Structure 1
Amino acid sequence: MTVEAKSAQKSTGMLSMDYVRQSTTQLQMLAADRDVEAPPESNVPIIVSPLRTGRPDALPIAEPHVYRATPKSVLDIGHDAVRARKELRDIARGVGRRLAR
Structure 2
Amino acid sequence: MKTKIAIIGGSQKQTFEKIGKKNNCEILFHGGKVRNGATRKEFLPIVKKADCVVVLLGAISHITMNTVKELCKEEGVKVIFQNGFGASLAIQSGLEAIAQSEVMVAA
TM > 0.5 fold call = no
* TM-score bin, normalised by smaller chain: 0.3 to 0.5
Structure number with the higher strand fraction is 2
Structure 2-normalised TM-score? 0.32
Structure 1-normalised TM-score? 0.33
